[in-house]
Structure 1
Amino acid sequence: MSTLPERFARRLDNVAIVIADEPSPEQLARSRVATGETLYGLYEGIPVTARSSSYGMVVPDRITIFQRSIEADCRSEAQIVDEIAKTILHEVAHHFGIDDPRLVELGLA
């Protein structure tokens, strides 16, 4: 999180970032992960771009990082750290309304 530009980091005041061992069956279903693919992280909430003026008094949005998924695919601690940073950036982008096709264009998918 410390690598996020301040202008983005300050807009994450109602976003919880949590670590889980692995995604639940419900999280896998919601994210539509294809068979054979691995889910490293998941954003659950209402993107900033989809909020109306009545948005408020809501539970925090949630970014979940899946530890076992990342550890299984990385060969070193440095790779793990790099993948966590990329995954957080990817999920933060979803918070700001950026979809997967655009993230592919940006090299963040």
Structure 2
Amino acid sequence: MAAPDQPADLPADRAPSAAVIEEIALATLEALPAEFRAHLGDVVLIVEDLADADTLTVLGIDHPLDLTGLYHGRPLGEKSSSESGAPPDRIHLYRRAILDEWIDTDVGLHELVAHVMIHEIGHHFGLSDDDMHALEDAVA
């Protein structure tokens, strides 16, 4: 049996690919209010199967399926024009951890990917958890 909210074009016996996760994440970006989208053009989206061991160690996470997404960068409010040459801000989505949570919960895949994406976008803007929830509600 397929997990809830199985993408229509995906065979029931196949897990969604990184491309499917990326497509949902990009659709989430497009659904954001214009004032948010205007400040996300330089943020790089990366979809990987799992976080690497170094990332997990730095974050104090024991198991790679416990991390669904991660923002690498400094929140907009903390940036300075003197930071030229810094690597671009990045949002990492971890496909296998997302799929594991998708299967273990009643949350649909689109809703789950959007939730993780908005949470990481929230870190880019330095938003509180309440602000992240409000942004998620605005996109829904």
Number of equivalenced pairs: 103
Quote the sequence identity (%). Answer: 28
Equivalent position of 1:46 in the other structure: 74
Assess if the C-alpha contact under 8 Å between 1:15 and 1:62 holds in 2: yes
Specify whether residues 24 and 35 from structure 1 end up closer, same or farther in structure 2 by C-alpha distance, changes over 3 A only. Answer: closer
1:68-83 equivalence runs, <5 A:
68-75=96-103, 79-83=108-112
- Across the aligned residues of Structure 1 and Structure 2, the Cα RMSD in angstroms comes to 2.5
Mark the runs of 5 or more structure 1 residues left unpaired by the alignment.
Answer: none
Structure 1 residue 88, shift from structure 2 partner: 0.6
Following superposition, the deviation at residue 37 of structure 1 comes to: 7.3
Question: Structure 1 or 2: larger strand share?
Answer: 1
Alignment match, 2:117: 88
Query: What's 1:97 paired with?
Result: 126
**Which residue of 1 is the match for residue 61 of structure 2?**
33
Question: Deviations 1:55-109 (Å, cap 9, x if unpaired)?
Answer: 3343211000000001012139x712111101110000000113xxx31x4574x
Higher relative helix content: 2
SS in 2 for 1:74: helix
Structure 2 regions of 5+ residues with no counterpart?
1-28, 134-140
- Measure, in 1, the Cα distance between the counterparts of 2:108 and 2:38: 27
SS of the residue aligned with 1:33? coil
| Cα distance change on mapping 1:31 and 1:6 into 2, 3 Å | farther
TM-score (norm 1): 0.79
1:65 paired to 2:117: no
Q: Tell me the TM-score normalised to structure 2 length.
A: 0.63
